[in-house]
Amino acid sequence: MLNLYSAQIESLSLHRVGNKSRNEPIFLSTNPHFLNDETSSLLKEYFFRPFREKEENYFKLSHEVDLEFNEIFKAAKKGFSEPSSMHQISKQVATHLFEQSNHPHIKNGEVYVCHFTNVVLDNQKVEAFGIFKSELKHDFLQFDETADNLEIQILQGININKLDKGCLIFNVESEDGFKVLSVDSNRYDTKYWLENFLGVVPLTDENFYTKNYLKFCQNFAKDVVLPAEDKQQEVLFMNRAVNHFAKNDAFEETNFLNEVLENPELIPEFKHYKVEKGPKYSIEDVSNFDIANKAVSDARKKIKNVINLDTNIQIKMDFINPDSAQKFVEKGWDEERQMYYYLVYFNKEQKS
């Protein structure tokens, strides 16, 4: 769990990186950027907002030969051990980004390299190394007041409500490549940022396995449970799956299948589906792992628990109390109308 409320910017270096394929230059500032309280507050919101809004999918820095060859790993490692050298390190980071900026689609932009303290990660205060890039310029109006009139000037600048690219490298698990979070609002050049520049791979921790296993279950529900049974059972299966994760600290696949798959005939189907589709979610060989509560909460928000009927009626099932969805909703067939129906039992209507 990440908490950025108390984080402080200890240093900030600002550079501009062009596109090499268009012969655009790189500009490296001679000195770090001076921060006052107002600027610091605005920049923290600019840098941190997307990380608060985005699901926490962690990466780690990597390299196919050796981690020490990863330029960002070397920069972060030195920055954490020698904070006084952060500005010189920021120049190396900007130069490395410039070297990767050789595809025509890549936009030029400003690069911010920061050293943060008091970042709270998993209830522990840690340092963080931040790299951010602003690319898209937006028109805005500025008004000049003369003696008689207001005059309009059209200027261009950065929208501080939308960061284009950014990453936070936390000073934990350094021997494995640190823990890293990344955001990129421009999906067309993701490979350039994640692979070519940062050199990261997904961090296969409890958050990774919890999230991916639930995504796998969601697709199993859609591809196997729905065709074999019906929409109600698809929803109820995911209902039981999420609640199993929510009430357990650790996952054990046999217990999960026995509790969640009420139709035992679907257990071999599940195992076959895992052999076939498991590699897509990196869970083909995974049957035990610790459960990340945050990942369960995120998954619960995304899973649809609504049955949409072709008569423009929706039935919303309750993920918190799954028994009610099963006990008080029955599906049947009306011979006279030649239509399916849902029979819903209740004591009284609740006021909204």
**CB-based burial label for 175 (10 Å; 0-12, 13-18, 19+):** exposed
Measuring CA to CA, which residue among 289, 291, 241, 231 is closest to residue 261? 241
- Whether residue 88 is found in the same domain as residue 171: yes
- Whether residue 50 is found in the same domain as residue 149: yes
- For residue 70, the enclosing domain spans 2-203
Q: Which of 48-57, 114-123, 284-293, 301-310 has the lowest mean pLDDT?
A: 301-310
Instruction: Note the pLDDT of residue 320.
Output: 59
Rg of the chain in Å (alpha carbons): 26
pLDDT band for position 167 (50/70/90)?
very high
Given 151, 186, 203, the domain boundary residue is: 203
Q: Which of 48-52, 169-173, 276-280, 335-339 has the lowest mean pLDDT?
A: 335-339
Instruction: Tell me what the mean pLDDT of segment 254-273 comes to.
Output: 92
Measuring CA to CA, which residue among 281, 141, 264 is closest to residue 213? 281
Instruction: Note the pLDDT of residue 188.
Output: 66
User: How big, in percent rounded to 5, are the helix, strand and coil portions of the chain?
Assistant: 40, 30, 30
Q: Which of 65-74, 130-139, 233-242, 300-309 has the lowest mean pLDDT?
A: 300-309
- Whether residue 219 is found in the same domain as residue 198: no
Instruction: Note the pLDDT of residue 351.
Output: 73
Q: For 57, what's the count of Cα atoms within 13 Å in the CB-facing half-sphere?
A: 14
- Whether residue 190 is found in the same domain as residue 241: no
Residue 347 is given by DSSP the state S
How far is Cα 205 from Cα 308, in angstroms, rounded to an integer?
A: 36
Q: Is the pLDDT of residue 325 over 70?
A: no
The total number of structural domains in the chain stands at 2
- Whether residue 218 is found in the same domain as residue 307: yes
Q: Is the pLDDT of residue 244 over 60?
A: yes
**Of the spans 139-148, 222-231, 275-284, which averages the highest pLDDT?**
275-284
For residue 352, what are its two tokens? Answer: 């909204």
Please give the residue that has the higher pLDDT: either 227 or 190.
227
- Whether residue 220 is found in the same domain as residue 175: no
Instruction: Note the pLDDT of residue 233.
Output: 82
Given 153, 182, 203, the domain boundary residue is: 203
For residue 25, what are its two tokens? Answer: 């230059």
Instruction: Note the pLDDT of residue 352.
Output: 63
- Whether residue 199 is found in the same domain as residue 213: no
Instruction: Tell me what the mean pLDDT of segment 302-309 comes to.
Output: 76
- Whether residue 111 is found in the same domain as residue 196: yes
Given 203, 222, 249, the domain boundary residue is: 203
- Whether residue 192 is found in the same domain as residue 303: no
- Which residues are registered as beta bridge partners of 151? 144
